[in-house]
Structure 1
Amino acid sequence: MRSRIITFYSYKGGTGRSMGLANTAWILASNGMRVLVVDWDLEAPGLHRYFHPFLPDHELRSSPGVMDLVWEFATAAMDPATPDEPGWHERLARIQPYAMSVEHEFPGPGTIDFVPAGRQDALYSTLVTSFDWSNFYERLGGGGFIEALKRSMRERYDYVLIDSRTGLSDTAGICTVQLPDILVNCFALSTQAIDGAEAVAASVHRQRADDQLRMFPVPMRVEDAERARLESSRDYARSKFGRYLSHLPDPEGYWGEVEVPYKPFYAYEEILATIGDRPRQQDTVLAATERIVAHLTDQEITRCVTELKETERRDLLDRFRRAGSQEPAPRTSSDGRHAVRVFISYAHDSVDHFQAVRELWYLLRGQGIDARLDRPPGQRTPEWPRWQRQQLLDAEVVLLVPSPAYRRLPVEETVQLRDVHGAHPDRFMGVVLPGGSREDLVDVLHEGEATRWTTVTALTPEDVRPLAELISRRAPVVRSTEGDPLDSPWPWSRVHDDPELAEAADALSHALYRLQLREPGLRRLHEPFRFDIRWSLNRRFLTPAEAGRLPVGSGTLRDVEDLFTSLPHGRLVILGAAGSGKSSVLALLALELLRRRADVPGLPVPVSLSLTSWDPAAQTLTDWITDRLRICYPMAPQTARHLVTANMVLPMLDGLDELSPSARAHAVESLQRDIPPDGRYVLTSRTAEYEEVIQRAGRTLARAAVIELRPLQPADAMAYLSYNRLPGDLRWGPVLNVLAGRPEAPLAQLLTQPLMLRLAEEVYRSPSTDPAELLRFHSESDIQKHLLDALIPATYVADPVFGRGRRSAYSPDAARRWLGFLARHLEQRQTREFAWWELHRTFSPWSMRLRLGCFAVLLTAPVMALRLLAETGVSDLFPQLTLTLAGWSGVTVLLVTFTAVRSPEPRSGLTIRGRGALRLPRRLPTLTVPRASLRADWRATLTFPLLGGALAASAVAAGALTSVRPVLATAFLLLLTALLTLILTLRNSASGRYWVTVFWLALRGRLPWRLMRFLDDAHARGVLRQAGSFYQFRHARLQDVLADRDHQVH
């Protein structure tokens, strides 16, 4: 949160201004805020009296303050020895040496630091009266010093509260014009006080020009004895100050909330109402101040947080030497009648033009119109675009006030208007003020035939009344013509009629959520400090009507979920350059939707799917998603298909750009054709590839919102690299200098990609590395290749601190060799997913048959052993044994060798019977990982071969061992059963072929003997990620680099 500087000002003394400031400071600190209080009432200092029981120097006899600060600057400015260089006064503007702490324990980090007006000794009055403020500004450059002082205050504090001098003076001008972001204009309800305070408000407004502050007029010391005169004074004050409340959503309600009542108890001693009043009592000074604080903090802080018991509160009161009580009184509620909601859009041409627009807003509210005014430049926070878009969407009528500056508005400032105008042109109405012209409006809005125009000849209640009547007539017409059911939010929560199908969806959701939480790459996205990926709507792929219906036009990573769940049709396309974070956004969105599903039953289950395994020309989208569910997550085909066709699965389709151009075209056509009207999906793609396929198709994806991820800013990269540095680590200095001074350099450009920035931090995490070597590369591609090449050695480094927190069981060279082989295997398969049951496709079909035959020969080795035994005479004991085993061995070799080499899918061992086909196994969360699916397949495929092997072995033994001793016969039977079981398993199971393939590849050194253990370790280190029963490389470009390296070596 940006620090706020708030000045409390009053035209006349005795209004309770200082007391209001002191109470505000206490309330803010009680809510954990760091507060600085500055007594700038130099001629009559007294703010310290409200804190004196808690100050170490009660009377400020030895405490320097504001006067000492400005005198020190003036002396240095007039000293010839002072160096004449930019920023020389920065050290003199440090506020901290003049601040003393209020010695009270506030919750959390809450503090109050107090800067007095100056040392209260015999010389103080001389210092005040002899200081030349005109010379300070005109000759000494005091304006720059005050700006430096503002920066110093903002650095350390959340809120800076300044107690200003009353009346009209140089010091009052500093406090009311130059210093504050917010001005609290305090006044009593007398004519002189109201007129004087309003004159100051007008002066501040004019002097601030294009940097308008927010002003809060606050009636104080309100006495309710004379009701008729009180109401008259209230009306007069509202007529004077009402036009300064354009920044508030409910100006009328504001007046009833901020009046500070007069309480005689506080007239005789400076006592804090936060201690003098009991909490949560109405009609007290504390309650009124809490409501004022709520406005000052945009409703973030609404009450004083206190843990004081009543006895403790009274003890504190004794330190002020006063005690008392107040009786509560009821509050009156404001009129809640409905009014037409209007938003006024304008450009800030000049102070006079803004005053005219604000007068229009004020007069419309006087006519019963709920008018809202766009914020002037000085009040535009970083959240202003989102606030403006919400105001445009909520308004029943949007008034456009043309001016020369409106025509010159930059495109980025008209994006929100263009979006909403494209969706709801009937809402817009042009209003020409005196001296204006309708030709001065933004071109795209000027051309809209639905935009109605009217002219206001004078800014008086009588001349504005026809406009108010026109608005009141037009609003019901607008509401009646906007009944498009497609604008309503998607009914996300649906309770399905089939409880078993709902149970299957719940089991799948639970499994995915647990797997996502264990994903190392996803955990890194939740680090305490991470860069914020920014996005905005890509309007090239959206119709104006579609863009205008969306609640936000831009945002950060944390806003994607809110955008998606508010989409009318539940379809989102995420675009971005390579390495921009598309997959990260998709993963985080899936996780947040899974979390939301735990609280809201019936939401669709988000399932991430890599499009590289889809051939859209040969398989429909529904069939492919069904197959992927069945393979990745062990479930029956009926269950998978029912979940997909019932829209209980939300496909998160990653990597449209990874498909070939022709496949991309078929995929887009399938999304247009196969997705039902109520179907939802999320799709990611690189921007260029998506643009190319959409242009070829000649139309955008129907009803899909399209957002594009933006590159990071150099400042984001600098903050991320600086945050992760160890104390005293200066290695990143040269890189940070490039980011700060040469943002156009290849290194700076590359580090604005989230992927490359994180890779750089990981590669150079160890103190033994030197990031400065990145400066020797002259192109982005060279730097990128270097980082990707260095990632594996950095990940498998044998340092327990910088090697993922544990010593590596694998050398970097071995890990790179094995990962390179897997990457090349995936490249040859034209996929990004490693499936263990597809590993045997490393060999050609005949090559695989040969290896299976060799393995079968190994299995029949016992026959050779028996042949050797026959030479020793043992065969005489078994006359038929040698012939029988020789025949069995030949059949075995032929059976295994000439079996058609196909790709058996992994089995989970599920038993499907009747309606039970819709149920998922209770151990689904553990069955979905690759190692578990391998074990499940091995167990499931052993059942039939074990039974067949036993029967075959019994038949062979019955014919060959009729005269054999029982012990030998039993041993031989067991041996035959085991061998036949293994042979049948090789012939029919995916896991059997996997073990044979790993055996041959490990012999050649291309893979480790314990491949699954190595893959699990690579996943834990963040090199790989899991997607159901598949492994994927963490980055597609890492796979490409490793595959290319393996191709060069082999």
Structure 2
Amino acid sequence: MTYTLWSIRHGTWKATDLVTLIGLPISAGSLAVAILALRKEAGNEADLAISWARTLARKVTEGEGLVRSQLLGKDFQRINLRYRLQAAPARPAKAPPVGRLFDAPPAAAPRRAPRPSLPDITNYYCGTKPARLVITGAAGAGKTVLTLELLLGLLKVRSDTDPVPIRVPLAQWDARMPLRTLLIKRLDDTYGCPAAQAGTLVDQGLVLPVLDGLDEMDPTLPDGTPDPEAPRARAALDRLNEYRDPDGLGAGPVILTCRTDHYVALPRTEALLDAALVTIDPVDTGAAATYLAAQTVGDPQRWQPLLRQLSAHPTGPHGELLATPWRLCLVATVYRRAGDPTDLLRHATQADLDSDLLGRYITDVAKNIENRHGYAPGQIHRWLHHLTSRLAPTPDNPAAGTDLALHDLWPLAGRVRVGATDALLSAALVSLPTLPFALHTGEPALFTALIAVLALGTGLAHAVPPLPRRLHLGRLPTARGLQDFAFSLAGGVLFGLLAGFGIKHMFHATSAPEVCLTAGLAFGIARGAMDAMAGEMEPREAATPRTVIGEAAACGLVGALAAGLAGGAAGASLDGLPGGLATGIAAALAVGLGGSQARRYVVFLMCSHRRLPFRLARFLDWSCKAGLLRHSGPSYQFRHRELQRWLTENPTPVP
């Protein structure tokens, strides 16, 4: 490349040199393929899979442990849920009749007290043969808490050959996609495992599917009752009944959660075969009173009338209303520091109680949780309501979504609006800072045309939403990395040829084809190296919503540096410092902005003025600390589905 620039500068460029230059990427590609053929990963597939699973288990423990902490909030007191084995519609698994959430011996137990007769959820599942479990319960009964306790318990006692439990929300699963593909996608999206490694883990039986929310796959009927047809849920059950263990001789292990009424509404022929079906019991009045009494802050006498009412009428209507952990958590949050808990006795129906508690919930959270950014309750409500629009059902997916990913929120501001703004802004950022340098070169028309073509191409490319990208040097010598490098290199050469001959005919610049081809080659090498490294090859720290944006920005900065140096060298060889600055800055901006989720995220925030805070990530992180949202890998989720549903139905705060 240095010789090419020198030859163009001194007028010794020949046609044979052009052929040599075009052959350079072909030779480089051949050499890379040869290196790839010689490169082999040490160790057999089984040993590698065990190593990958060990790393993956650590990442799952960290991520799901954070989710459990956010669900429990600042209070470490937990309700020891109980669940009972139910008669399965067909081919039940063998399992204990009763179990509970965790093993809690009596406080004053003797030194050698016998073990409790009821197993905790981890031992309960380990005693289920075959290892297929369906967890059902009412809305807010604690299915997610029970599932997380089981998942983390299995990881705690896991050996190297045991599968790693992976929790997968079912709301977005199109059951036409095989379960294997769903698991691979989840491992890639959430834990950074590439498709090849994830496929090996699944095929080796080192992944245990923990499928959360079968009831969320289909919308309810107009009256709010479950749809017995439920086509997506029934298709998912068909897939799960086809799922086999690695040797193909038995039913594959799986854990499934669903609301009781939705599971019961399905035809008896549509059920998970060879599985134990358990239902979480309602929280008894004594346990509810004990939990609420422990939440008192300030004057404990405020709670006494409510607690006496519950004790006097354990089977009364208010005892039934406060029989789920979710409502008990709402009551404890709303009345923790102020208010009269006896107001709850005014509500005779579940809908009235939920409307009252949820209407106060955000206000009390904003008051009682550290709020140094000054978020007002009304703002919090409206911002969260706007975010629920991204989770609304669509014709292709009639069930409400659950995951809010920062890099995927941009359609909220309008697809056409964001795409057009992104394209115009990108073209302006490439052209405006570089035009002053182009006008001060010896050939202003040539450099202006080059920058205009580059800005136009950048703008058109940025009208299409980018995909998440992460830098990883280990991806460069792989087949996918070499393929991306070759495509970018070929695109750069083609761009240089077309731009060069076009400028030659328009501006009669004799050296335009050679200069543009060299610049295109340099641009292609820089962009190809970035594309080849933009990916993830090893299981790593579970991606958080912020890291997806941050790593996309880092990827753009590295590409900008490489492209700026290459483009600057090409421009400087033709017209010295002004030409180098013009082409270097333009190339750096074009590559640095290209494919960046960070760029699209900023454009989305600009287009969402007054609908969302500009420091959106900071607000969402605060919402997780406040107990309104929770982290789920690279996404956010509402803490509870009932809160999401209520915010969807109430665009403004309820007085």
Please give the TM-score of this superposition, normalised by the length of structure 2: 0.72
Alpha-carbon separation, structure 1, partners of 2:77 and 2:649: 34
Judged with a 3 Å threshold, the aligned counterparts in structure 2 of structure 1 residues 1031 and 1045 are, in CA distance, closer, same or farther, namely: same
Letter in 2 for 1:633: Y
Which residue identity lines up with residue 252 of structure 2 in the other structure?
G
Aligned counterpart in structure 1 of residue 324 of structure 2, from 753, 760, 765: 753
Answer yes or no: is 1:579 the counterpart of 2:140. yes
Are the structure 2 counterparts of residues 903 and 575 from structure 1 closer, same or farther at C-alpha, using a change threshold of 3 Å? farther
Match of 2:357 among 768, 784, 787: 787
Contact 2:70–2:630 under 8 Å retained in 1:
no
Q: Distance in 2 between matches of 1:1008 and 1:934?
A: 17
Distance 2:631 2:317 in 1: 33
SS at match of 1:519: helix
Kindly provide the amino acid, as one letter, of the partner of residue 578 in structure 1: A
1:695-719 Cα shifts (integer Å, max 9, x gaps): 3xx1532211110011111222111
Cα separation, 2, equivalents of 1:859 and 1:762:
48
Aligned to 2:638, which of 1026, 1033, 1038? 1033
Q: CA deviation at 1:682?
A: 0.5
The aligned amino acid for 1:671 is L
Q: CA contact under 8 A between 1:824 and 1:1046: conserved in structure 2?
A: no
Distance in 2 separating the partners of 1:636 and 1:954: 36
The answer as to whether partners of 2:192 and 2:543 remain within 8 angstroms in 1 is yes
- Give 1:635 shift: 1.7
Residues 639 and 499 of structure 1, relative CA distance in 2, 3 Å threshold: same
Instruction: Give 1:810 deviation, angstroms.
Output: 2.8
SS at match of 1:888: helix
Match of 1:524 in 2: 72
Q: Is 1:975 aligned with 2:585?
A: yes
Higher CA-based Rg = 1
1:631 aligns to 2:189 (yes or no): yes
Contact 1:837 1:903 in 2 (8 A): no
Deviation at 1:859? 1.1
What amino acid maps onto 1:621 in structure 2? Answer: L
Q: Quick one: which of 626, 629, 633 aligns to 1:1024?
A: 629
The equivalent residue for 2:17 is none
Q: Within the alignment, does 1:503 sit opposite 2:65 as a pair?
A: no
- Counterpart position of 1:90: none
- 1:622 maps to 180
Distance 1:570 1:713 in 2: 29
Go from structure 1 to structure 2 and tell me whether the alpha carbon gap of 1:686 and 1:637 turns closer, same or farther (over 3 Å shift).
Answer: same
Paired with 1:911 and 1:497, the residues of 2 have a C-alpha distance of: 19
Indicate the structure whose relative CO is greater, using CA pairs within 8 Å and at least 6 residues apart. 2
Write the distance in 1 (CA, Å) between the matches of 2:415 and 2:328: 43
Runs of 4+ in 1 over 6 A off after TM superposition: 914-917, 919-923
Residue of structure 2 in register with 1:880 after alignment: 443
Aligned to 2:253, which of 649, 665, 680?
680
Give the superposition deviation at 1:688: 1.6
> What SS does structure 2 have at the residue aligned with 1:730?
helix
Q: Does 1:777 align with 2:342?
A: no
One-letter code aligned to 2:291: Y
- The structural deviation recorded for 1:851 is 1.4
Distance 2:65 2:272 in 1: 32
Asked if the contact 2:568–2:581 (Cα under 8 Å) also holds between the matched residues in 1, the reply is no
Aligned AA (2:605): V
Aligned to 2:459: 896
| 1:589 Cα offset (Å) | 0.7
Give, in whole Å, the separation in 1 of the partners of 2:291 and 2:563.
62
Q: Is the 8 A contact 1:952 1:980 kept in 2?
A: no
Distance 1:1000 1:736, change over 3 A: same
Change (3 A) 1:848 1:950: farther
Say which structure is richer in helix: 2
Q: CA deviation at 1:511?
A: 1.1
* Residues 859-870 of structure 1 mapped to structure 2, 5 A cutoff: 859-860=429-430, 862=432, 866=436
Conservation of the 8 A alpha-carbon contact between 1:613 and 1:831: yes
CA distance 1:934–1:891, shift in 2 (3 Å): closer
Where do 1:447-846 residues align within 5 Å? 498-519=46-67, 521=69, 524=72, 529-541=77-89, 543=91, 546=92, 549-550=94-95, 552-558=96-102, 559-597=120-158, 600-617=159-176, 619-660=177-218, 661-676=230-245, 677-695=250-268, 698-726=269-297, 728-743=299-314, 746-767=317-338, 769-797=339-367, 802-803=368-369, 807=372, 809-828=374-393, 830-846=400-416
Map 1:169-568 → 2, pairs under 5 A: 498-519=46-67, 521=69, 524=72, 529-541=77-89, 543=91, 546=92, 549-550=94-95, 552-558=96-102, 559-568=120-129
CA distance in 2, matches of 1:738, 1:939: 59
* CA deviation vs aligned residue, 1:877-911 (integer Å, no higher than 9, x gap): 54633673366246524542465624524435362
Kept in 2, the 8 Å contact 1:574–1:708? The answer is: yes
Cα shift at 1:955: 4.5
Give the secondary-structure state (helix, strand or coil) at the position aligned to 1:701: coil
Report if the CA contact (8 A) 2:288-2:328 is conserved.
yes
2:167 corresponds to which letter in structure 1? S
Return the offset for 1:590. 0.8
Paired residue secondary structure (1:564) = helix
Aligned to 1:155: none
Q: Distance between the aligned counterparts of 1:908 and 1:679, measured in 2? A: 36
Q: State how far apart, in whole Å, the 1-side matches of 2:426 and 2:298 are.
A: 62
Shift of 1:845: 4.1
Q: Distance in 2 between matches of 1:595 and 1:898?
A: 47
Query: In structure 1, the residue corresponding to 2:336 is in which secondary structure?
Result: coil
TM-fit CA distance, 1:571: 0.7
Q: Deviations over 1:534-587 (max 9, x none)?
A: 1101114355xx46x42x201221221111011221111000111110011001
* CA distance in structure 1 between the partners assigned to 2:236 and 2:468 by the alignment: 25
Q: Determine if the alignment matches structure 1 residue 991 to structure 2 residue 598.
A: yes
1:520/1:1020 contact within 8 Å kept: no
Rounded to whole Å, the distance in 2 between the matches of 1:836 and 1:1029 is 8
Shift of 1:522: 5.6
CA distance in 2, matches of 1:890, 1:1041: 50
CA distance change for structure 1 residues 1018 and 970 in 2, over 3 Å: closer, same or farther? same
C-alpha change, 1:594 and 1:536, in structure 2 (3 Å) is same
- CA deviations on 1:608-636 (whole Å, 9 max, x unpaired) are 1111121113x111101101111111121
TM-score normalised to structure 1 length: 0.46
**Which stretch of structure 1 is more off in the superposition, 773-782 or 907-916?**
907-916
Give the 3 Å change call, closer, same or farther, for CA 524–502 of structure 1 in structure 2.
Answer: same
Q: Which amino acid aligns with 1:1034?
A: R
Equivalent position SS for 1:1046: coil
Q: Is the 8 A contact 1:521 1:1022 kept in 2?
A: no
SS of residue in 2 equivalent to 1:629: helix
Alignment of 1:954-973 (within 5 A): 954-955=569-570, 962=575, 966=577, 971-972=581-582
**Are the structure 2 counterparts of residues 733 and 886 from structure 1 closer, same or farther at C-alpha, using a change threshold of 3 Å?**
farther
Decide which of 548, 558, 568 is 1:933's aligned counterpart: 548
- Unaligned 5+ runs, structure 1: 1-495
Calculate percent identity across the aligned residue pairs: 27
1:380 maps to: none
Conservation of the 8 A alpha-carbon contact between 1:542 and 1:706: no
Q: Retained in 2: the 8 A contact 1:520–1:1021?
A: no
Equivalent position amino acid for 1:924 in 2: R
CA contact (8 A) 2:569 2:580 kept: no
Please state how far the C-alpha of 1:771 moved relative to its aligned partner. Answer: 2.6
Specify the code of the residue in structure 1 equivalent to 2:170: L
